[in-house]
Amino acid sequence: MFAQYLTRGVKAGLVAGLVFGLFMAVVANPLVAYADELNHATVEESGHSHEAESAHSHESEGTHSHESEGTHSHGSGDSHAGEGGGHHDTAVSMAVTKAVSVAAGGLWGVVLGGAFFGVAFFFLEPAIPGPDAAKSYLMGLAGFITVSGAPWLVLPPAAPGAEQSLSVATRLPLYAGMMLAGALACLSAGYAYTRLRESSGLPAAIVGAVVPFSLLAALAVVAPENAVHGALSPTLETGLTGLFAFGQVLLWLVLAAAHAWFRLSSESESESAIPTAGRDSAPAAD
């Protein structure tokens, strides 16, 4: 049974990975490259590009391992400053970056599918309220809140070239901490909902489910503030941030939809006892 769940989760992950890889290739890659070019142009125009880049690199990349290791082929000290200053011809070419990013987009879907819809769903399914298909979508919502939604309350997706006031060394643990807080909020909301639904009825259950998310929002308000100062126009930055957010929402929606769909198909298959194509039904495990 565990193997079945894992297989279904990974299958949903493959579908979502395909969609997100496509999103990377068609939407995200060209836009990041375009934004990088714009940043580059801005730096060129400003005439003191080198000074600007050094300042940027100090602020936005100062604690980054790139700087201290000095393994960049450019070796001029401002090699990675492209992030802050504009041009992004860093250790690897844009073509490689694009290809690797598309592949990573695909893997991202598979990893999330396996972890959330394979492993976590197997254990949590009995505790998730609602009918079967709704459970897939609730799992998707919880996954989105855990991986992206909660951390984004403090650290929203950054547009290329944006400078952030918090250092990387601060932001990474902050991001991880908000992921943990998001997961806890989802788990306790589900727990409160199920408990209160039995004892006190639906209205109380809904209130009980809302409380953990209010606490999450309060936590985001208390968390250190990250001022983002971008080199692009505010409209473009908002657009990019919104688009990256949309990409993750899309990913989780596809994951949930594919997961719900694979449940239906696997149920009808097991009822009619017709073996599937063979390679993915893992009959030995039952």
Partner 1 sequence: MATANTVNGRIERARTELSPTQMAAGALFIAALGFTLLFVQDPLVHDSLHNFRHAAGIACH
Contact set with partner 1 (CB under 8 A): 1-3, 23-24, 28-29, 32-33, 60-61, 64-66, 69, 71-72, 80, 83-84, 88, 90-92, 96-98, 100-102, 104-105, 108, 111, 122-127, 148, 151-152, 156-160, 168, 171-172, 175, 240, 244-245, 247-248, 285
Which listed option, Zn ion, partner 1, none, makes contact with residue 12 (CB within 5 to 8 Å by class)?
A: none
CA distance 228 to 171: 12
Of residues 71 and 276, the one with the C-beta less far from partner 1: 71
CA distance 106 to 89: 24
Which residue in 214, 193, 203 sits closest to 138, CA to CA?
193
As measured in angstroms, the least distance from the Cβ of 12 to partner 1 is 18
51-90: which residues touch Zn ion (CB under 5 A)? Answer: 83
CA distance 34 to 28: 10
Binding string, 154-173, against Zn ion, x = CB under 5 A? ------x-------------
Which listed option, partner 1, Zn ion, none, makes contact with residue 179 (CB within 5 to 8 Å by class)?
A: none
Of residues 126 and 278, the one with the C-beta less far from partner 1: 126
Q: Is 252 exposed, middle or buried (0-12, 13-18, 19+ CB in 10 A)?
A: buried
As measured in angstroms, the least distance from the Cβ of 160 to Zn ion is 4
Which listed option, partner 1, Zn ion, none, makes contact with residue 101 (CB within 5 to 8 Å by class)?
A: partner 1
Of residues 47 and 131, the one with the C-beta less far from partner 1: 131
